[in-house]
Amino acid sequence: MKFGGTSVGSAQRMKDVAGLITREKGNVVVLSAMSGTTNALLEIASYYKKGNRDSAVDTASRLEQKYLGHIAELYASAESADAARDYVRSVFSYIEALGKEIFTDASEKELVARGEMLSTWMVNAYLQEQGVNSVLLPALDFMKKDEQGEPDSRYIKEHFAKALAQHPGADVYITQGFICRDAHGAVDNLKRGGSDYTASLLGAAALAEEIQIWTDIDGMHNNDPRVVPGTRPVRHLHFEEAAELGYFGAKILHPTCIQPAKFAGVPVRLLNTMDPSAPGTVINNIPDPGSIKAVAAKDNITAIKIKSSRMLLAHGFLRKVFEIFESYRTSIDMICTSEVGVSMTIDDTSNLSGIVADLRRYGSVTVDTGMCIVCVVGDMDWENVGFEARAMDAMSNIPVRMVSYGGSNYNISFLVREEDKEKALKALSAKLFADD
Ligand code: ADP
Ligand code: ASP
Ligand code: MG
């Protein structure tokens, strides 16, 4: 069970989480830092880096005060509150001590790791105060990266099993999301939002019955309820469908985060802390033949078209085009080609002028800004018939700049003007979910 920063964002939220995780015995719980903490710690680190110790200490002591406030609210007994205050003070004096030495990237990693250490310590102590046999498993004992900087799944599997075996029969196991060690044993992390990744890695390592990602708002809808009225939560997604949708709400579940679960065949369930009895959304490897799951949209898309007579019957043309994007570290999302031209979309336009200038060497270039990708996700195996026609039919009154189909078995995407987004989402929903 993984809970994000907002879900453990206050003493009351921590108490709610404590209730959820003790409904059954033996859960492994991955927690993020309390919301705002990681950002505050990174701010402190940036002050230290700039040699601005005063601002660092100032920000740190404001954060410490916040924690002392949470403690006053969280624990019932003076004894537990005292122990928690001691712990919080030791963490913050460590943070201050870090600034007294040369502040390196390694110091920053140590510093930012304190966020998850604080939240897990507090919840574990709260559970123990409530009489729960809760065990705090330090993630740094088993979460490790390899020489390539990728999570070392074999190491994780072996050491996580060892850590669990040291405390058989506990009611609940609490551990830190996000933090890990690098291949040389130094403290590191799995990048922002990395707690989801921790949960997926541990669930896969332990071959858990299920990986639950608890968040603070409603499960995934087949559309944004503010744009299309009458949407319903999607109850089931294939891993591939979730990956397709990841681009449209990458904040929810990044595709790389669920990769370990997918490979291990462990289902992932998205649940809502605000409505804990709702069934949520299950993601697994089971297909729903012929079923269309969701329609999603992403704004702020720029389309770039390059037309060149040199492309006709030439080989190596696309490579040259793609290399230009690569040299500007800009990823391409949608792509369509004809015999003489190719259109691509990007969402990061910070290097647009350089890209366009370089592309002009190979042909005439057109740029359309203010575009929007509207995508339909579901089982769209090419041998199924009819769904392309239904989707196209829905778009019959909307100017469509690009259509992309066949890249995977799970997606058909349209590029339209941003101002047509709402119309497109409504039309597709009406046509595709008409009989649901
Ligand atoms: P936090 O960011 O507080 O650690 P989570 O990791 O649980 O919380 O969630 C990450 C972000 O994704 C949060 O801002 C959350 O509100 C947002 N989010 C979660 N589920 C959805 C959803 N179904 N649709 C849109 N945003 C979501
Ligand atoms: N605390 C980390 C972050 O804010 C990791 C996480 O919340 O998933 O990015
Ligand atoms: Mg998060």
Architecture of the domain defined by 2-208 = 3-Layer(aba) Sandwich (3.40)
Supply the mean pLDDT for the chain: 93
What is the length of the chain?
436
- The per-residue pLDDT for 220 is 47
Closest ligand 2 atom, residue 35 Cα: 4
9 lines ligand 2 (CB under 6 A): no
Strand partners, 305: 343, 366
User: What are the tokens at 267?
Assistant: 């289902």
User: What does DSSP say about strands 27-31 and 134-137: parallel, antiparallel, or unpaired?
Assistant: unpaired
Give the number of whichever ligand sits closest to the CA of residue 216. 1
292-433 folds as: VC0802-like (3.30.2130)
d(CA 309, ligand 2 centre) in Å: 49
178 lines ligand 2 (CB under 6 A): yes
d(CA 212, ligand 3 centre) in Å: 14
* Weakest mean pLDDT among 71-85, 218-232, 389-403: 218-232
E strands, 83-240, are: 134-137, 172-176, 179-181, 187-189, 211-215, 236-238
Q: Which of 37, 195, 197, 256 to mutate to test the pocket of ligand 2 (most atoms within 8 A of CB)?
A: 195
Tens-place pLDDT, residues 153-190: 999 999 999 999 999 999 999 999 999 999 999 999 99
Residues having CB closer than 6 A to ligand 1 are 4-7, 32, 35, 215-220, 249, 251-252
Q: Which of 216, 237, 273, 283 to mutate to test the pocket of ligand 1 (most atoms within 8 A of CB)?
A: 216
| φ, ψ of residue 233 in degrees (nearest 5) | -65, 150
4 lines ligand 2 (CB under 6 A): yes
Percent of the chain's residues with pLDDT above 90 = 83
- The per-residue pLDDT for 230 is 83
| CB contact at 8 A, 300 and 340 | no
- Whole-model pTM above 0.95? no
d(CA 28, ligand 1 centre) in Å: 21
- The per-residue pLDDT for 435 is 66
- The per-residue pLDDT for 188 is 98
Closest ligand 1 atom, residue 3 Cα: 7
- Asked if the model's pLDDT at residue 271 lies above 80, the reply is yes
Q: Show Cβ contacts of residue 74 under 8 Å, excluding neighbours closer than 6 positions.
A: 11, 14, 15, 81, 84, 122, 126
d(CA 109, ligand 2 centre) in Å: 13
Q: Show Cβ contacts of residue 221 under 8 Å, excluding neighbours closer than 6 positions.
A: 231, 232, 233, 234, 294
- The per-residue pLDDT for 233 is 82
d(CA 407, ligand 1 centre) in Å: 28
* Every domain range in the chain assigned CATH 3.40.1160.10: 2-208
- Asked if the model's pLDDT at residue 324 lies above 80, the reply is yes
> pLDDT confidence of 436, banded at 50, 70, 90?
low
| CB contact at 8 A, 250 and 331 | no
Tens-place pLDDT, residues 232-256: 888 999 999 998 888 776 456 778 8
When pLDDT is averaged across residues 52-59 and rounded to a whole number, the result is 97
When pLDDT is averaged across residues 298-323 and rounded to a whole number, the result is 88
> pLDDT confidence of 308, banded at 50, 70, 90?
confident
> pLDDT confidence of 200, banded at 50, 70, 90?
very high
> pLDDT confidence of 223, banded at 50, 70, 90?
very low
* Every domain range in the chain assigned CATH 3.30.2130.10: 292-433
- The per-residue pLDDT for 253 is 76
